[in-house]
Structure formats: C-alpha cells, structure tokens
Structure 1
Amino acid sequence: FKLGFQEEFRPVLDADINGSFDCHYGWSQSRVWPKVSWSCFKVKEVKTAVDYSWKQPTIHVQWDAETGRQIIHIFGFKSDQQVAFINKIPSAAERRCNPFSLHAAFARIILEQYNDAFWMLRDLVRGHEKKSKAEKEEERKIFPLLHDIARHLFHYQETIEVAEHTLQVIAKELINWRHEDEVSIRNNIGTWLDARRRILHEEKRAHSLKTRSKSLNDRHQNEINLVSTPAAEFMVYLPGTFVSGLFGTNFFSFQADPGNTWLTADEFWMYWAVTIPLTLLTLGIWGVWHWWDTYVGWVQKVRDKKGKGIKSGDDDATTDVKLDNFSLRKRILTATKLNEIQRKETV
C-alpha cells in the first residue's frame, strides 16, 4: 500500500511525525501546478492525567491540473470526523482550480480538534485548582500526577507550535505557486484568495491556542510551586531540628535556686557553628538539584552563541531555555533503580 505513495510521504504512514507539509510540482511549457501535496498534524487528547491518546491526522492530495481531477487520501480520522470533513469540503468548482482549498478545509477540522484538546487540559488544571485544601494535601501523596499533567501541557504546546508553523508553510507555498503560475492563478484569483484567507484564519487560530496554552501552563506551574513550597520551607528548618535532637538539652540548665533561672552553657556557640553551615549546605544541595539542568542549558547556549560569533548579554543567553528541572532527578532515580518522577512515554 505504501509503495503507491511518494517516498517522502511513506514515513507519515507508519512513523511518529510531529507535523509536516510537502508539495511536488508538475509542469509543462505553459504552466506549473501542485501535482501532489500533503499536510500532517499531531494531536494529543488527554482525558485524565494517565488516560490519553495520540492522533496523527493526515491529508494527501493528488491533482490533475488539466482535468481538475483530485485523488484524496485521509488518514487518522474517525468516521464522525470524516463526515465533518466532507461537510466542510470546498465546492467542486473550487477544488478543480485549487487543491490548497482541501488543505484549508482539513486544517479547519484539525484546529477544532486542537481546541477540544486544549479544553480537556484546561478542565484538568481547573479541576485541581478548585480542589479543597484537604484534597490537595491528599494529592501530594501522588505528586507525580501533577507532573503528568505538566508533561501533557508541554506536549500540547509543542504540537500546536508545529501546527502553526505547518500552516505558515502552506500559506507560503500558495505564494510560491502564484509566482510560478501567474497567468492561471490570475484567471482563478478568487479561489486562490479564498484558500489563502482560510489558511491564514486557521493559522491565527493556532497562534491563539498556543498563547492560551502558555498561560495554562503557567497556571499549572503555580499549582506545582504551591505544593513544592512547604517542602522547601521544611528543608530550611530540618537541619536545625536535626542538630538540636543530637545535642538535646545539654546546653541548658534550670536552676530552682536561686530565682528559678535558666542557665545557658558557654559552649552553646557549637550549636550555631554546626546548624548554620549545615542549613546552607542543605539549601545549596537542593538548589543544585533543582536548577542544575537549567544551568547546563544556559552554559551550552552561551557556548553555542560564542561559537557562532554572536555577541549577546546574559538576558539573551537565558531566553527561551525550556528545560525540565526534573531530568537530573529522573536520571539519578533511574540509576539507583528507584521509581521515576515521570512516566515513560514516546511521542
């Protein structure tokens, strides 16, 4: 079955493709036309933190410019989605003149799926925000679930960004076709303009969803930080509590006579000499544990920019460093054969 398609398209059928678009042109002495084109998207639908599914909807269009005949293949669509696509398919007159009208109609269905996927994630985050304090305390026992949701948010943001870029490439390809086949496009300028308008509209929808997903991700990170804050506060007081347990009450003495007074030993400075360095050491280890991957990414980015001869400040070097602060811990836990922070998943 795959042998009936172009070699570049075959990986789309059986591999995990985050998103793609390609266009092969045909030509004659009088004109140039998009003979074969396809667009592929990746959608992740999340029902719960542990119940999710990946979809890879794809459209493949073959177009004969002389007769206007099209051969359309749709992959990764359920029967109800196929019906929705057929209901939104362009008119026969438009399809005969412009195969990109099919990509525009397909993108409209895909963006509806991305919108539904966003609201599924939003409901997960909102559901956690609305929980009572007691319920959140109980949820801390299953803290990895919060990071499962965070992982889903990262994946959504990644896939919607790729989808936006795919739509941008389709819009650019429309312009390339117009430059190469000016006479034919001018004769059917209405269908060309309409297809481009609809693709740009879906591109804007993708950008809006990307912006909302970033805001939703920030909201969820705030929830994670609220859970993490008590742990950090506990670490501040833990060393002092531990040391006081070792020393006991040997530094203090209660004297009933005279005057029911408390006496403090001259060696009480030893408590502070041990507690303060131990507290700083504990916080330092936690800081390295939490920010090591971000620091490594920052150093690597600075080195890459120096290698390219680009001069930039510290602010530029830290821009858009999107690293998972838990990857160092994950490596350590995996190496010691303990449970992983996040569940395994392939995209």
Structure 2
Amino acid sequence: MRSTRLMCFKLADLPKKCYIFLDVVNYPPVDGRRERLLAHFNVPGFVASRTCFELNGYFGSKASYSDKSSPVHVTSYTTWFRCLVKMVRKTDDGHDGGPEYATGSKDYKWFEMSFFTRWESRGLCQVLCVDTPPDFPDQLCKLLQKQDKLDFRDPFAMHAALVDQMVVYYDISVWRVRDPVRHLEKTRMRTGTSFSPMHEISRHAIHTAEILEAATNTLNEMQRCRAVIYERLPDDPGETHKGQAKDYAQFQITLLRSLKLRSDSNQERLRNEVNLAFNNLARQDNSVMKSIALLTMIFLPATFISAIFSTTFFNYADDGSWQISDKLWIYWATTVPGTIVIVILWRIWLAHSDSIIGFSETHWKGAKIWWKRRSAPKPNKIEQA
C-alpha cells in the first residue's frame, strides 16, 4: 500500500491499494472535470456540486452486488464523506507542540477535508483525500506503521487510520481554542478593548462545536453502513475482525463526543469571561457615577447659596450696606411646599409606574379610536336611503 499525491499522472496508473492526497488548489472546479475525477471512484455526480462542497459534513455510500450468485454478495463499494476542521493560530504558551497550521494573514485556517474511497472484491482499495492539513500524509504513514497489517477483505479497512488522524486534528483544534480562553481567564482584562478578541474566540468556539457535531453524525452513519455491508462480504474476514472493527469505530465516535463536550466547556468558560468583563465595566461605570455624584454634592451647597443671594431679595444700598427684603418669606413659602410635592409625586411614580403607564396606554388607544370614528366622513343621506 502506498501514499501518493495526485498531480498530473493518469488515474489508471494509480496503485491498486493507495491513499491519494490532493490539495484544494489542485482540486478540479465544478465544470465537468471534478465529476470525471470522482467518477473514477464511482461517486455520484451531485457530490461534485457546489452544494456538497460547501456543507459542513456528510457520509454516503454505494454498493454493487453480484445478483447472479447465491447468496448475493458485494462486488464493489464506494464511500464519500466530508469533515471540516478549523485550526486557530497557536498561542505562545499553547497546550500542544504541533506545527502552525494558520500560516496566512488570518489567525485561523479551514481544512475542508473530503474523502472518496473505492473498494472492489478483486483487490482494489483506493482512497482520495482532498484538502487535508499538510502533514496529514506523514502522520497517516506513522499510524499505519504502528498498526497490524490491513485486511483488504474489509471495505472499511483503510478508514480506521483516516479517522484516527482526524480525531488528532480535532483534538488540536479544540485545544487551540481553549488556549486563548485560558489566557483571558489568567489576565482578567477589564478594558473594553478585550471584547473584540473575546467575540472572535467565541466565533471559533462555535464553529468548532458545530463541526464536531457534524463529524460525530458522519461517523455514526459510517458505523451504520459498516454493519450493513459486513453481512454481504464475498470473502468474510471473520467475526473477530468484524466485531473488533465495529468496536473500534464506536470508540472513535466516543472520542469525538468527548471532544464535543470539551468544546462546549470552552464556550461556557468564554461566556463566563464575557459576563465578567461586562460586570467589571458596569462596576467601573458605577464608580464614575459615584465620583460625579460626590462632585455634585460638593458644589451643590455653594450653588444653592449663590442662587439665593443672587435673587432680588438681597441688594446693596447706595451707601454700600447690605439690605434684605422683608418679603423673603415668600421664597420659602413657595419653595418648601413645591419640593415636598415633587418628592411625593416621585415616590408615587416609583411605586405605581407600571400601572400608570398601562392606564395611560389604554386610554390613549381608546382616545385614538374615538377620534378616528369621529373624524371619519359620514355617509350621505341619499346613499343611506
């Protein structure tokens, strides 16, 4: 079995048992060439459409059977599935020591991995891998070297290592979202400038949770198809092999579910940090309002006294003496009751504001209806007759 990159040689020249890696830049566009490429793997033409190319995940399969033999068995089997992974740029004190995948101008990189497999009972087993991370082929070879020899009587023999490596990338993706969240928890920034990176990290966390859910659904469907096809194999690999293969696939599904839980935890932790930042800003605003209130209280007595002395109740005579009007009592007789009335109205408003607003809205609506009826043109007496 070989791992090779599809560049410019013919599909007919490919080894019978191989993984083929194709960069997304070299992936044929939707103009007929992509359909011809996927036709080699017996994949339906609709899978080559833009609709399927932009989905976050799917799994499909197609089997051919020997109708003339008894019992009926599978002669060829094709699968196609899609799994996305989002790699966020590494932090300086990141959890993993892997390579940097987000090498562009953005702080993240999407890998929209698509896989197409073709298996035939006569010994053909080819897997086309599109838009995988650059180190996927090398990491896949290392995994295959550690495993037992593949049993190619199983149409899913070459899937297990692929899924293993995909789980590794999902784990890296989740941790690289967790690292900036942990950085926020440590620094506890309280300024408004922290909200922009918070919301950016939140977007990455939401995407990661979405693709993990989609990948789990994809593997569940793969597991269902595996159980069905194992009942129709022409050369049975044995109950031990089939049972272990299904158990290991179920183990891979549980790994993705655990990563999904960790991703959900990242979202909750980030939500807590956002709430904490809002609370800190509210507390800062409260401190500012208290400072303004204190300054107001400091200058209020002086303002009040100067306002009183600036009235006409106080005046200077021609000889420079200070004169006070004998009508000063009028000021106090009007100011004190007015202040008391305002305080009482304010207390009534606080206690019954909802009822007052509801009462006003009800009567206002009734008044508008009455006015519309009153202003509506009345029918002519001749028309009534």
Q: TM-score, normalized by length of structure 2? A: 0.58
**Cα distance change of structure 1 residues 273 and 162 upon mapping to structure 2, 3 Å threshold:** farther
1:192 maps onto 2:235 in alignment:
no
1:123 maps onto 2:179 in alignment:
yes
Equivalent-residue separation in structure 2 for 1:271 and 1:52 (angstroms)? 59
**Cα distance change of structure 1 residues 235 and 130 upon mapping to structure 2, 3 Å threshold:** closer
1:27 maps onto 2:83 in alignment:
no
1:10 maps onto 2:63 in alignment:
no
Equivalent-residue separation in structure 1 for 2:341 and 2:112 (angstroms)? 66
Tell me which residue corresponds to 1:137.
190
Report 1:97-112 matches (<5 A): 97-112=153-168
- Deviations along 1:5-41, whole A, 9 cap, x unmatched? 1313213798322111110011112313552112210
Question: Which amino acid counterpart does residue 74 of structure 2 have in structure 1?
Answer: V
**Cα distance change of structure 1 residues 164 and 33 upon mapping to structure 2, 3 Å threshold:** farther
Equivalent-residue separation in structure 2 for 1:272 and 1:221 (angstroms)? 43
> Aligned pair count?
262
Equivalent-residue separation in structure 2 for 1:216 and 1:74 (angstroms)? 30
Equivalent-residue separation in structure 2 for 1:149 and 1:24 (angstroms)? 40
Equivalent-residue separation in structure 1 for 2:281 and 2:215 (angstroms)? 38
Tell me which residue corresponds to 2:327.
none
**Cα distance change of structure 1 residues 186 and 274 upon mapping to structure 2, 3 Å threshold:** farther
1:208 maps onto 2:258 in alignment:
yes
Question: Which amino acid counterpart does residue 64 of structure 1 have in structure 2?
Answer: E
The sequence identity of aligned pairs, in percent, is 21
**Cα distance change of structure 1 residues 127 and 230 upon mapping to structure 2, 3 Å threshold:** closer
**Cα distance change of structure 1 residues 78 and 275 upon mapping to structure 2, 3 Å threshold:** farther
Q: Which has the larger share of helix? A: 1
Equivalent-residue separation in structure 1 for 2:128 and 2:200 (angstroms)? 35
Is residue 65–residue 74 contact of structure 2 (8 Å, CA) maintained in 1? yes
Question: Which amino acid counterpart does residue 64 of structure 2 have in structure 1?
Answer: G
Equivalent-residue separation in structure 1 for 2:125 and 2:272 (angstroms)? 50
**Cα distance change of structure 1 residues 217 and 105 upon mapping to structure 2, 3 Å threshold:** same
**Cα distance change of structure 1 residues 197 and 33 upon mapping to structure 2, 3 Å threshold:** farther
Equivalent-residue separation in structure 2 for 1:121 and 1:143 (angstroms)? 16
Q: Select 1:159's aligned residue among 211, 229, 248.
A: 211
Where in structure 2 are there 5+ consecutive unaligned residues? 1-32, 39-43, 92-105, 307-331, 354-385
Q: TM-score, normalized by length of structure 1? A: 0.64
Where in structure 1 are there 5+ consecutive unaligned residues? 256-262, 282-347
Tell me which residue corresponds to 1:146.
198
Larger Rg: 2
Is residue 161–residue 210 contact of structure 1 (8 Å, CA) maintained in 2? yes
Equivalent-residue separation in structure 2 for 1:272 and 1:190 (angstroms)? 86
**Cα distance change of structure 1 residues 102 and 234 upon mapping to structure 2, 3 Å threshold:** same
Question: Which amino acid counterpart does residue 54 of structure 1 have in structure 2?
Answer: W
Q: 1:64 deviation in Å? A: 0.8
Tell me which residue corresponds to 2:128.
73
- Deviations along 1:304-333, whole A, 9 cap, x unmatched? xxxxxxxxxxxxxxxxxxxxxxxxxxxxxx
Is residue 46–residue 52 contact of structure 2 (8 Å, CA) maintained in 1? no
Equivalent-residue separation in structure 2 for 1:268 and 1:185 (angstroms)? 98
Question: Which amino acid counterpart does residue 194 of structure 1 have in structure 2?
Answer: Q
Question: Which amino acid counterpart does residue 144 of structure 1 have in structure 2?
Answer: S
Equivalent-residue separation in structure 1 for 2:108 and 2:128 (angstroms)? 26
Q: 1:105 deviation in Å? A: 1.4
Is residue 190–residue 280 contact of structure 2 (8 Å, CA) maintained in 1? no
| Cα-Cα RMSD | 3.9
- Deviations along 1:73-93, whole A, 9 cap, x unmatched? 111124421121133346665
Is residue 59–residue 103 contact of structure 1 (8 Å, CA) maintained in 2? no
Equivalent-residue separation in structure 2 for 1:165 and 1:62 (angstroms)? 22
Question: Which amino acid counterpart does residue 85 of structure 1 have in structure 2?
Answer: L
Q: 1:274 deviation in Å? A: 6.5
Secondary structure at the aligned position of 2:46 is classed as coil
**Cα distance change of structure 1 residues 237 and 113 upon mapping to structure 2, 3 Å threshold:** same
